[in-house]
Structure 1
Amino acid sequence: MSTETGDSVLIIGGTRFIGRFAVEEFREHGYDVTIFNRGNHENPFADDPDVEHIEGDRTDDGDLADAAAADPDVVIDCVAYKPKEVRTATRLFDDVDAYVYVSSGAAYGDEDVPKREDETTLHECTEEQARDDSHETYGPRKAEGDRAVFEAAAERGVNAMSLRPPVVYGPHDYTERFDYWIDRVNEHDRVIVPGDGTNLWHRVYVESVARALRVVAEEGEPGEAYNTGDRRLLTLEEAVETVADALDADVEVVTAGERELATAGIELEDFPLYRDYPHVMSTEKLSRLGWEPVSVEAGIERAVEDHLESDRTGRENGPDRDAEERVLGVLDTL
């Protein structure tokens, strides 16, 4: 399918992170943009007459129906966290040119390297998991949302598609997972990286996700899912070194294994963006649509610039520095 400049887009979400960049991406490409959310967070587009705002709760079917009355050509669903929300949305927006559900790389159940959309098995999702809100059920819920997209396309002809990003980083990232590492590099001349530094957890810069949402809306095929991710993967150690380059900082990266960390009561998984087994996603299918991501170096540089202008530290996402200092002391004696 292909949409044309001048079309309208409804972005469910639209003010915090991925949705915020999606607004800017679609505006830059000539779309009339409306955002739909509860208004619980500051709206960066509040003074922009070119971005309309419909206030409502996407989990309320009546509110979502009111948003559907705006008759958008494209719908970008950034905040569907339960399968029933995707099913409701694909029912209410069954005649749009494109409905794009923001899923997640966490939807994959098998640990293939790389994970491919049409080969790697998705998580199963029980009825109990589908109603849950915990972190443990996030992947299964996203996977069931994908299946809702596939069913809507196959059974009712809805132009519904799915985008699966891995960990997203960049300006305005309220999770502050990547901010933890920027803060460590900015504040200290020795930074502990868990394990041997080679763990691979695919990440993607937020502007690349916004670009992917538009490309999928314009060029994607109904009933299909598309992975997105940085074109070049960095190990955690390489990511820290790239942050140091962006800060022009002279930092020593110190790797610490399970035994050394245990001396201060730290576990490998206590560090943000650490994953024992590689999480790598093929982006070939999305690239065939014409998608080009922002380079990882440019993405990290922009993330660093925004971090320095913000009050985010991400420190609550990882071990206390005092504990890390104890580990460094142990390593210095070896």
Structure 2
Amino acid sequence: MKLLVLGGTNFFGMKAVQQLLDNGHDVTIATRGNKPNPFEGKAMHITLDARDASHEGWTEVTDQQWDAVFDNICYTADDARIIMDKFKGSIDHLYFTSSMAVYSGDIDGYTEADFDPLTYHINPNIEVNYGEGKRQVEQVLFTEAPFKLTAFRFPIVLDLDDYTERLHFYVEKVMNDEVVYFTDPEIKVNYVKGTKAAESIVWAIENQKEGIYNISSRNAITVETFIA
């Protein structure tokens, strides 16, 4: 397959690209070029600011035909509309990273149906945080996109090479006997390993899966359990 990955130089996006290359796919990554291409000699690189509809990199992207596109950097409704405009009529399938943050409310275990982008209405007057941004991305794409869609609703992704070092923060606090504050230690949180997140992306692409998937550990744990 000839695949385009928007992003692909960090964390589980990079792991997914490596797995796709290992499986023999023709992969091109498109990034702003702030980091060297980690797949030099294996994957082509296009310099592109995907959030800028007028960026010159779009010419090289849209001049080619792609079997599928994986977008790992779509955060807002505006981002989604640019993607729809650029790939309208030229791709058959878009895979994109969403988030378990689209869910809201005190529910002990979510299913995909607990947030439905087809019935969600965007309120232009509310603050667009990460979760709201992903809700709006899903709403725009699933109600307007002219191509097939697959959304991955990931929880917190952890692995040894997590560049955000979010797990390191807590480990270091505990090791140094420093205080860590939580508003609700009984709240349950889901996680997934970065390698498993990448495997799920590759699985969906290779099997042309459509729809919405929660890619997560089977069991949520409380913050108190996590700290213990």
Q: Distance in 1 between matches of 2:152 and 2:142?
A: 12
Q: Distance in 2 between matches of 1:164 and 1:140?
A: 13
1:172-208, Cα deviation, whole Å (9 max, x unpaired): 32332211123245x3478868578543111111111
Q: Distance in 2 between matches of 1:219 and 1:93?
A: 21
2:79 to 65, 80, 85: 85
1:111 to 106, 109, 112: 106
1:306-325 matches, within 5 Å, as none
| Residues matched between the structures, number | 223
TM-score (norm 1): 0.59
SS of aligned partner of 1:61: coil
1:1-334 matches, within 5 Å, as 7-45=1-39, 48-62=40-54, 63-94=57-88, 95-120=90-115, 124-129=121-126, 137-153=129-145, 156=146, 158-185=147-174, 187-188=175-176, 194=182, 198-219=186-207, 221-222=209-210, 224-240=211-227, 253=228
Judge conservation of contact 1:203–1:233 (CA < 8 Å) in 2: yes
Q: Distance in 2 between matches of 1:110 and 1:209?
A: 25
Q: Which amino acid aligns with 2:202?
A: R
Judge conservation of contact 1:16–1:172 (CA < 8 Å) in 2: no
SS of aligned partner of 1:26: helix
1:127-162, Cα deviation, whole Å (9 max, x unpaired): 355xx7xxx622111111111221245xx3x11221
Moved more, 205-214 or 192-201: 192-201
Structure 2: unaligned runs, 5 residues or longer: none
1:8-58, Cα deviation, whole Å (9 max, x unpaired): 21110111223211211211222111110111134433xx30111101211
SS of aligned partner of 2:73: coil
Structure 1: unaligned runs, 5 residues or longer: 1-6, 241-252, 254-334
Judge conservation of contact 1:10–1:74 (CA < 8 Å) in 2: yes
Judge conservation of contact 1:108–1:121 (CA < 8 Å) in 2: no
SS of aligned partner of 2:65: coil
Judge conservation of contact 2:102–2:115 (CA < 8 Å) in 1: no
Structure 1 residue 237, shift from structure 2 partner: 4.2
**Identity %, equivalent residues:** 27
SS of aligned partner of 1:103: strand
Structure 1 residue 124, shift from structure 2 partner: 4.9
SS of aligned partner of 2:152: strand
1:227-282, Cα deviation, whole Å (9 max, x unpaired): 11123433334434xxxxxxxxxxxx4xxxxxxxxxxxxxxxxxxxxxxxxxxxxx
TM-score (norm 2): 0.83
Which structure dedicates a bigger proportion of its chain to helix? Answer: 1
Q: Distance in 1 between matches of 2:208 and 2:110?
A: 19
Question: RMSD of the TM alignment (CA)?
Answer: 2.7
Q: Distance in 2 between matches of 1:169 and 1:221?
A: 24
Judge conservation of contact 1:149–1:162 (CA < 8 Å) in 2: no
Q: Distance in 1 between matches of 2:106 and 2:23?
A: 37
Structure 1 residue 221, shift from structure 2 partner: 4.7
CA 233–112 in structure 1, closer or farther in 2 if over 3 Å, else same? closer
